[in-house]
A and B are shown apart, each in its own frame.
Chain A
Amino acid sequence: MDRDGTSIDYFGGGADSASGKNIFMRRILTWLAPSIFLGIFFFYPLSRILGRGLDPAVLLDGGTLRLTWDVFLFTLYQAALSTLLTLVIGIPGAYLFSHFTFPGKGWLRTLTAIPFILPTVVVAAGFNALLGPRGWVNLGLMGLFKLDQPPIAFLYSLGAILLAHVFYNTTIVLRIVGNAWGQLDPRLEQAARVLGANPARVLRTVTLPLLRPAILAAGLLVFLFDFTSFGVILLLGGPHFATLEVEIYIQSMQMLNLPVASLLSIIQLLCTLAFSIFYSRLVTHVSIPTAPRAAEERLHPARTARQRVFLAGMLSLLFIFFVAPLAALPLRSVTRLEAARGQRTSVQSGLTLDYYKELFINRRDSLFYVPPIDALRNSLTYAGMTVVLSLAMGFPAASALAKPGKLEKYIDPFLMLPLGASAVTLGLGYILAFNKPPLALLTWPWLVPLAHSTIALPFVIRNLQPALAAIPDKLREAASTLGATPLRVWWTVDWPIVSRATLSAAAFAFTISLGEFGATSLLVRPEYPTLPTAIYRFLSQPGGLNYGQALAMASILMLVCGVGIGLIEAVRLPGTGEF
């Protein structure tokens, strides 16, 4: 990877270079791998399914158009509202993580990333255990105030959708904005203070403008995720709400109405493209390279009373939003509430490890029994491959985008498209594209990490690009002038600055692959089950043991994800200490 970096970092800065042809060739080479990759595994299957379904006649049908318009408006509305709320919680959170040290910080940071991987069914179960009609909060309130009815009606409301979106996506803001904030040069803010600006003014005129690229990058990702939301809408919003993605699913999977499904898919893709173009316009105006600092420089414990209040407030907020719903699941997975159902009077409750033990027993001798170790191994293998693949594709792409030429300005929005493609549409596209030679890949186990990588790639790029763009050329020039070889320049200047973003990108790729269910369910073979597919298998049959095992498996998934992210973030990359 390091040599990749060396070969590409000088494209943009090389305007003075004599060999324009050489630069051009390098640019082509840079884009070759990502574009062939996306071409085969994203654009080709997509074009197959859209080509199959496209039918201009749907544009003449009034009923279809009205449905499309209503669904589009709701999709836009809930995504905008969700993104706003996520930023409102995420930006102060990013400040917290980039400025303060406090006990348990590493844990909390890891914890906020876990929702990102959890299957929606599991998240719904967590929220239900906490906020449902017979969840702990309602039972507590009913006991406290002697109420007959649960006071909080949480499920099946717009509020549930918004809360779940915040729960899922805040980690994106925490990470991307937090990383950028930690590396801002504090001298700029100090200078403004010395010149007489009050803190609010410093924030408004110095800090926020400097953070704008990171906030926009995070905002775009959050928005696209909310815009294409599927499981949250179905499970927590209920059938009264439908986004484009939900309607695509109903039209293509239930009604086999490909013309309408294709129309909706194209609208969703065009919107994604439009938002991405809008984003790149905004972001290219404000790329101000500063001298990034080591992240540790800003960190300190809360000192003043005001800082302590902020810290306490933020921590309780994060606790309510993340720790409580997450803790509900593992707690429930070791709690027995079920003994002697049917005779309500003698409900025994207590702690049990039965569900975990049961995971290792193939009681019905089923051919499709999933040993937990196997599911774990498959999940980790896929996740590892996704990390390697998406970083290998994403690094050159992000480097080129950090110093965009004309070509990059056109390419950039298209790289975000995988986030806007409906998983259902793409899954059907894979069936059409890869079911006969020369691309008979459908039963090929590698197809799963490849599909995951198309989704992870936009994340990797959006994580790396702001970090790479923040490196001032003069640092590199200074190092070169002092006699450093290009490799050494990259190693001592670029790498320390982008290493943190690289880890963050790796963590995203890892979690995306670990939790992804949509594409996996369409592509996976029963011989290679992943943890999420195993969870769904348990939940598809009645019975207390199945439910308990699903929660146990979900707790294992959470643990694996937590350990994985923890390990990735704890890595002290070689070279970073020198900075």
Chain B
Amino acid sequence: MRRLSLFVLLIALLLSACAAPAVGTPADNQPQTLTVMTHDSFSVSKDVIAAFEQANNVKLSFLSSGDGGTALNKAILSKDAPLADVFYGVDNTFLSRALAADIFEPYNSPLLAGIPDAFKLDPQNRALPVDYGDVCINYDKAYFLDKDLPVPATLEDLTQPEYKGLLAVENPATSSPGMAFLLATIKHFGPDGYLAYWKQLRDNGVVVVDSWETAYYTNFSASSGKGPQPLVVSYASSPPAEVVFAETPLKDAPTASIVGPDTCFRQIEFVGILKGTRKLALAKKFVDFMLSLPFQEDMPLQMFVYPVNQNAKLPDEFLKYAQVPQQPASLDPAEIAANRDKWIADWTATVLQ
């Protein structure tokens, strides 16, 4: 009997949950809810969001859905009945997949005027650039100082015997910075030459791990994990993060990035309005908000990325400790999309097997 009543309760709960989110026209003073689907690394200051919510009488609900690739795949799979109104966090390595799946509504935001054309990779403005960051090799300053070893300056240097076993990279099949670094080598050595380079890296003892977390915290010698490798594939913004999140105030960053030609790969992140949204006007306002100064200037210390808006001011930590590569590598998103799986498979066969 009790089993039955528990069961009835469950069913009742189910039904009530199904019935609850009836979409209709809410009363004038009742705030509407705008749902934003994004990746786990998304972060923003409370007051910045509160200001937008108040100005537009809206309640923002964020749906974090795994890493960048996972979140995008979820958005693609649920495109017939979208889970959200806006999707933020597709990067240039996944952009073509998103555009091919046709999940975004085009939107010519007036704020695009303040963004350099180099970031606008979708001419139809279905995906609008929000931020960028450079995946670079970070090095442990103290290690190279102690050993009196010159810091490698180019991709070619990394195959030299004095750097044997010193570099930790991520598997491009499971990690987005790993993929970015692979793309940097493809840009530099060409689709026909990169495998030969990786063969040399393998012979020189490159350490491959599954994720950025493992590479940075388990393998990298300058992180708190105190690993064995003084070189790691991370971000150009990691040195300022080391200062911001230091246990005791630091005078200088313990790490720095190698910013030689093509040693860094530029990742650009985009936002798009999901097709099928019933709150198009509100979604457009939110996209404008993401491109406007309050949000753009809040991003660096929340997500450790650079704003695309030219007028946004950078925090001191970024100006002091982050290096900006003069010649970051980049590839055409269509070329990435067309070859992504093949490059990963060939890389796996060369480096792991």
Interface residues, chain A, with chain B CB atoms under 8 Å away: 1, 3-4, 7, 29, 32-33, 36-37, 40, 52, 121, 124-125, 128, 132-134, 150, 155-156, 234-235, 238-240, 249-250, 252-257, 336-344, 352, 354, 364-368, 392, 396, 428, 431-432, 435-444, 446, 521-522, 525-526, 536-537, 539-548
Contacts and interface: CB of A to CB of B under 8 A. Distances in A.
6 contacts: A134-B228, A337-B224, A366-B43, A368-B62, A438-B18, A544-B224
Nearest to A355: B247
Contacts of B162: none
B248 A340 contact: yes
A441 B83 CA distance: 11
Given A3-B1, A364-B301, A235 B77 contact: no
B124 interface: no
A4 B42 CA distance: 47
A367 B46 contact: yes
A336 B146 CA distance: 22
Contacts of B238: 542
B213 A540 contact: yes
Given A150-B228, A254-B344, 5 more contacts: A36-B7, A337-B224, A431-B83, A544-B224, A544-B247
A539 B213 contact: yes
The 9 closest A-B pairs by CB, nearest first: A543-B245, A547-B224, A436-B81, A133-B228, A234-B210, A239-B171, A545-B245, A542-B241, A342-B254
A274 B279 CA distance: 49
Nearest to A392: B6
A440 B78 contact: no
Contacts of A256: 73, 76, 97
B214 interface: yes
A342 B142 contact: yes
Contacts of B174: 234, 239, 249-250, 254
Nearest to A538: B245
Given A342-B141, A544-B246, A4 B3 contact: yes
A432 B246 contact: no
Contacts of A7: 1
Interface residues of B, number: 85
A441 B108 CA distance: 34
Interface string B50-88: 000000000001111111011001101110110100000
Interface in B1-41: 1-4, 6-7, 10, 13-14, 17-18, 21, 40-41
A431 B17 contact: no
Contacts of A121: 213-214
Nearest to B11: A36
A124 B225 CA distance: 11
B341 A255 contact: yes
B331 interface: no
B312 interface: no
B226 interface: yes
A352 B83 CA distance: 44
A442 B242 contact: no
Contact of B245 (A1, A4, A440, A542): A542
Nearest to A133: B228
A437 B19 CA distance: 8
Given A124-B214, A133-B228, A542 B17 contact: no
B21 to A, nearest CB: 6
